[in-house]
Amino acid sequence: MLKICLIDDEDLVRVTLSDDLSEMGYVVEDFKLPGKALETLRQDFFQVVITDLKMPGMDGISLIRKAREISPKSSFIVITAFGSIETAVGAMKAGAYDYITKPFQPEEIHLILKRLEERYSLLQENLLLKTEIAAKSFFPQIVSRSEPMKKVLNMVKTIAPSDSNVLITGETGTGKELIAEAIHALSQRRDKPLIKVSCAALSRELLESELFGHVKGAFTGAVSNKTGRFEMADHGSLFLDEVDDIPIELQVKLLRVIQQKEIERVGDPRLIKLDVRMIAATKVNLYEKVKDGSFRSDLYYRLNVVPIHLPPLRQRLDDIPLLIRHFFEKFRADNPPNISPRTLQILVDYPWEGNIRELENLIERLSLVCQCNPMIPACLPDQYLPNASGKLSQKSGLEEKTSRFEREMIQMTLRQCQDNKSRAAKILQIPYSTLRSKMQKHGLS
């Protein structure tokens, strides 16, 4: 059902039309003052704006021009008692969808709204189809089959087509940036840039200049004009990673961008209108920072319109084998190795405090330094190996590591030779008697 913003300075007309539209089932907010309506349009989205043409302070055509800057996806209908070809043409040029003259019957405006409903329905179907196509091309980059991640990806598909701000939370290495890329790729802004900013990597002064830009001479070292990341992201999306690191004094400026959809470059009082979707990410509990006063509550609620929480890898056990295979194919594309069942179990049981990033780093290391196929536990760095009690071991000595590697190699070779010890000894290039001795030493006889 359409959401309608109604503006008319005549109380009787406004209230009567608002009641009629509400009875038809539409959601209506009515305003006597155009300025108040514009403030509300900055905060909320209305599919339809119905405005009178002649009003004190601001006429309907001026209102449409300003409202289209704020809400370019809204449709506008002009109603007036001053009907003429000139005013109709002026309204259409300003961006009105249709034009109706007072007095009119409720059915007349209902017919216009019905056409708009059909139009929005077709646009929505088209948008969903485009989202499905984009999802099929992008989602293969996200390696997952676990239930927690299925829920995340379903949420991404649902919210991506909207322009709502998104707050992605999750531990370090869980893939927050990849999810931000997915949201942008599935959105209506996919053909415009996704600009990324790491808020923790810059000082307060540099971050302000990076986000908002500056003009020549704004501060020492500002030898030329600089375009900020917000301007770069106009009509696209801006990804603010580690948003919790934004200093409190800059949070005020960020809030203004969200509320007013405009920025000031450092050293320049002129306002620049922008249309940017905000995607923020944090590894901390941002609400706790709100409670301790280090993060503004109003900014938090503006960013946290759509929250998405990424589960840690230890809650995605079904994904670990898939990720291991994916990373081996990435780093050893010519000949990705297999991995022994025992090695795989060790990696599945590991707590992965660094999450996917830690797993990727490990597989890259193994791809470089270990030529075993399949990969055996002895290939793993000591920190990943459990000790006899089942707990992860501390670093062991060279002798223990060598012994463990030797045992695994003998076991693997015997399996390949179907327990033919003579063949195994030849493959290992050791005498048969030495093999028997080592098997006895390792409890394999």
Residue 87 covered by a domain: yes
**CATH value at residue 99:** 3.40.50.2300
Strands 48-52 and 75-80: parallel
Same-domain status, 151 and 297: yes
Residue-range definition of the domain harbouring residue 263: 147-309
Q: Is the pTM of this model over 0.95?
A: no
Q: What is the structure's pLDDT at 388?
A: 44
199 with 241: CB under 8 angstroms? Answer: yes
Q: What is the structure's pLDDT at 395?
A: 46
Same-domain status, 186 and 247: yes
Same-domain status, 63 and 153: no
Residue 82 covered by a domain: yes
Q: What is the pLDDT tens value at each position of the chain, 445 positions in all?
A: 789 999 998 899 899 999 999 999 999 999 999 999 999 998 888 999 999 888 888 888 899 999 998 888 899 998 877 666 677 777 888 888 988 887 888 888 899 999 998 888 887 777 666 656 665 666 667 888 888 998 999 999 999 999 999 999 999 999 999 999 999 999 989 999 999 999 999 888 889 999 999 888 878 778 889 999 999 999 999 999 999 999 999 999 999 999 989 999 988 889 999 999 999 999 999 999 999 999 999 999 999 999 999 999 999 998 999 999 999 999 998 888 888 888 999 999 999 999 999 999 999 999 988 888 888 888 899 889 886 445 555 444 566 667 767 777 887 788 778 888 888 888 888 898 888 888 887 777 6
- Token pair of 220 as six digits: 């020492």
Amino acid in position 419:
D
Same-domain status, 106 and 38: yes
Residue 229 covered by a domain: yes
Same-domain status, 164 and 35: no
Same-domain status, 156 and 99: no
The residue written with tokens 């990341």 in the block is: 229
Same-domain status, 193 and 226: yes
pLDDT in tens, 18-50: 999 999 999 999 999 999 999 999 888 899 999
Residue 356 covered by a domain: no
Q: State how many domains the chain has.
A: 2
Q: What is the structure's pLDDT at 236?
A: 96
Q: Which of 291, 309, 327 is the last residue of a domain?
A: 309
Q: What is the structure's pLDDT at 389?
A: 43
pLDDT in tens, 150-169: 899 999 999 999 999 999 99
348 with 320: CB under 8 angstroms? Answer: yes
Residue 381, C-beta contacts closer than 8 angstroms, at least 6 positions apart: 362, 365
Residue 369 covered by a domain: no
State how far the Cα of 432 lies from the Cα of 436, in Å rounded to an integer: 6
Residue 392 covered by a domain: no
Same-domain status, 116 and 180: no
Q: Which of 309, 339, 374 is the last residue of a domain?
A: 309
195 with 239: CB under 8 angstroms? Answer: yes
